[in-house]
Structure 1
Amino acid sequence: MIPFRDYMRAWLYGPDGYYSRFKAIGRQGDFYTAVSASRFFGATIAHEMIAKVREGVLSPSLWLVEIGAHQGYLLGDMIEWIAQEAPELLETMRFGIVEPFEALREAQRRHFAERFGDAVTIGHFKVPAEVGAAEAFVVANEIFDAFPCDLVFKGKTALADPATHRIEFGGEDARALALAARYGQEKGEVAYGYEDFARALSNLAEKLLFYTFDYGEKEARKDFSIRIYRGHEVHPLFEEGLDLSRFFGRSDLTYDVNFSHVIDAFEGAGFTTLAYKTQLRALTEMGLVELLEQLAKRGDRALYLRELNKVKTLIDPQVMGERFKMVAFGQGIG
């Protein structure tokens, strides 16, 4: 048997893993994201980036980089908004995606070619250090919930049999148990890789801002949240009678993020925590309402109402508004 984190890594990132190939997101996929809900998600983040350039926090020659880009919709939405609000930046900025899987890189190339033709060039990088920028604005949506995790229960860690998909609590992984004790967990998920990711991201640029959105809380849950998404149906991993062989590599496997762990990992890598907010508050403060008002002033009320309904998904406290959080980190920011 192997540590559960290795089982989850194979499930999601192995040669035949769920994320090794392009998957549809939204109505035709297994789940929705903020990006699939409304293009104003990306527009609002782009508006925030433009504000940081105009404030002098970052220069007009910065890189805009997405990590965990899937097909590249978020980065594309941001570029479209930059073209509307600050088209001059398209002459000075550069754009990139950190993506280790070639199949996803190819899907991203196709998407940007169809969307922008030759007007926008996207650089692809396997790891953050390959970007090597002086300045960068980095964005990620729902990546921390997809990091492999260990499972802890009453002083033991989970082991899994890849052949039978049987899971039992017979391990004694010292690192996982130490982190569980740090965050007061007797039962639940302990993410693996946050620290390495934060250190790797610090090598992307000398000066950078990193904005990321995910679902979870500032405190670790006291129970298992790990679950499977397939065709918009949710199955707790330990659901009675669930045959994991039917889902392995074919479905998303995710859990609630412990943002205290994320923040500790980034501060340990030398970052400064700039903000931690609900998605509702973050998007509102970054100007989402003002951007919608600009659309309303154009006079196409039908379009405005369609987009307003989509935006409600992002900020409704009962949907994504409160459950999703934004955390922002800075490096080299004065």
Structure 2
Amino acid sequence: MTQNTTGKTLDSLNLEQQIDLQISTSGPISVATYMGLCLTHPSKGYYRAAEPLGAKGDFVTAPEISQMFGELIGFWLVNLWQQMDEPKSFTLLELGPGRGTLMADILRVACRAPGFRDALKLRLFETSPVLMAEQKAKLDVYDPKWLQNFESFDEGPLLIVANEFFDALPIRQFVCKPDGWHERQIGLKDGKRAFGLSPTPIPPASMPDAVAGAEMDSMLEVCFGGAEVMRQLAQAIARQGGALLAVDYGYGTTQTGDTLQGVRRHAFADVLDTPGETDISAHVDFGALGNVARAAGLATQPLATQGEFLTRLGIGERAAALSGANPGSANDIRTAHDRLVNADQMGTLFKVFCAHSPGLMPPGFAA
């Protein structure tokens, strides 16, 4: 078993100590390496040991705000299934299913469509043992199976839902300097973790065309992990047919900017503090994901805001129906509706991305 210089075993160190030991012995690490350790360390990572969702966690996602979010995505999925001539077998995959709330709401609605439940093969991709247990409790009736990778799927079309999944994948950051782009790294300064830059420049010609001529000290974020996930899933959809729907905060075209952020107990936190106890994320470059999807032969829809997407699917009408059936909850329903669609809340910050087989016409997007 590995020991450090004080004689302690590596496993006996907390994550903060392990990261500092790695830096002190091997040198500065990339932002991507740091994020990966903080979020998915096998025993001490945020998504392995923590309960991140809800009032007791660090953040609340759209499915936790209102059942309407999942119900409308359930309608969206049924619409695509019907466009594909109601295949007798298809895979529904959710990436990062959280507590299983979104999928439970989706299937409560979608399984009302005759034949949908019988054709369904539910697959989930999750790294948190705590959340997997909650998913099993909520979704066991649908016989879910958990995937470890995206190398193979059952026969039939593939429908994929990813709500706040891509933002948690590790990013690398590069800063523009006169001699080229330098990767941002995390090292130790006076015994504390601090940001710095790799001394080795990357020639501007190696960077995306979208950042050509960027101003000095501009920052570019690249999510190689997200691109690889998209590549594998897009290739599977290209072979088998189907669609991928991703909802996340992000931007439509590759651009510069620092979006790395930490959240702890529903408040912003320093990403370098309390590793393993703070959620770390970054905005999603949907333009880059779209390029990968199209390279695999898929079509993509114009990026929509969450407010636009849900409004086009009928969230206003659904809110009115729920309020009519539950007049005592009308104020809460209206508050949830506004939080999901209003521009000053989640409505414009969150975007909706769709890549799909050519010929399908996913609802909720601009013509």
In the superposition, the TM-score normalised over structure 1's length comes to 0.86
Structure 1 counterpart of 2:224? 192
Share of identical aligned residues, percent?
21
Q: Secondary structure at the match of 2:303?
A: strand
Counterparts of 1:149-228 in structure 2 under 5 Å? Answer: 149-154=171-176, 155-161=181-187, 164-172=192-200, 174=202, 178-179=206-207, 182-184=210-212, 186-202=218-234, 204-205=236-237, 206-228=240-262
Kindly tell me: are residues 194 and 178 of structure 1, through their superposed partners in 2, closer, same or farther at Cα, counting changes over 3 Å?
farther
**For the residues of structure 2 that align with 1:303 and 1:175, how far apart are their CA atoms?**
58
Amino acid of the structure 1 residue aligned with 2:225: G
Which moved further from structure 2: 127-136 or 139-148? 127-136
For the pair 1:126 / 2:158, whether they are aligned, the reply is no
Structure 1 residue 214, shift from structure 2 partner: 0.6
- Structure with larger RCO (C-alpha < 8 A, sep 6+): 1
Counterparts of 1:229-240 in structure 2 under 5 Å? Answer: 229-235=263-269, 237=271
Deviations 1:149-188 (A, max 9, x none): 1112222111223885332112547599834554455324
**For the residues of structure 1 that align with 2:53 and 2:311, how far apart are their CA atoms?**
25
Q: Secondary structure at the match of 1:282?
A: helix
**For the residues of structure 2 that align with 1:34 and 1:170, how far apart are their CA atoms?**
38
Larger Rg: 2
Structure 1 residue 258, shift from structure 2 partner: 2.1
In the superposition, the TM-score normalised over structure 2's length comes to 0.78
Kindly tell me: are residues 60 and 78 of structure 1, through their superposed partners in 2, closer, same or farther at Cα, counting changes over 3 Å?
farther
Kindly tell me: are residues 183 and 124 of structure 1, through their superposed partners in 2, closer, same or farther at Cα, counting changes over 3 Å?
same
Structure 2 counterpart of 1:18? 46
Structure 1 residue 221, shift from structure 2 partner: 4.9
Kindly tell me: are residues 212 and 89 of structure 1, through their superposed partners in 2, closer, same or farther at Cα, counting changes over 3 Å?
same
Aligned residue pairs: how many?
320
**For the residues of structure 1 that align with 2:85 and 2:204, how far apart are their CA atoms?**
38
Structure 1 counterpart of 2:74? 46
Amino acid of the structure 2 residue aligned with 1:65: L
Structure 1 counterpart of 2:287? 260
Q: Which segments of 5 or more consecutive residues in structure 1 lack a partner in the other structure?
A: 114-118, 238-243
Amino acid of the structure 2 residue aligned with 1:27: A
Counterparts of 1:1-334 in structure 2 under 5 Å? Answer: 1-15=28-42, 16-56=44-84, 59=87, 61-83=89-111, 85-86=112-113, 88-113=115-140, 119-154=141-176, 155-161=181-187, 164-172=192-200, 174=202, 178-179=206-207, 182-184=210-212, 186-202=218-234, 204-205=236-237, 206-235=240-269, 237=271, 244=272, 246-297=273-324, 299-331=325-357, 333=359
Kindly tell me: are residues 94 and 311 of structure 1, through their superposed partners in 2, closer, same or farther at Cα, counting changes over 3 Å?
same
8 A contact 1:180–1:190 mirrored in 2: no
Q: Which segments of 5 or more consecutive residues in structure 2 lack a partner in the other structure?
A: 1-27, 361-367
Amino acid of the structure 2 residue aligned with 1:202: A
Q: Secondary structure at the match of 1:129?
A: coil
Kindly tell me: are residues 331 and 74 of structure 1, through their superposed partners in 2, closer, same or farther at Cα, counting changes over 3 Å?
same
Q: Secondary structure at the match of 1:134?
A: coil
**For the residues of structure 2 that align with 1:27 and 1:103, how far apart are their CA atoms?**
16
Q: Secondary structure at the match of 2:81?
A: helix
Greater fraction of residues in strand: 1
- Root-mean-square deviation (CA, aligned residues, Å) is 2.6
Kindly tell me: are residues 266 and 22 of structure 1, through their superposed partners in 2, closer, same or farther at Cα, counting changes over 3 Å?
farther
Structure 1 residue 4, shift from structure 2 partner: 2.0
Structure 2 counterpart of 1:241? none
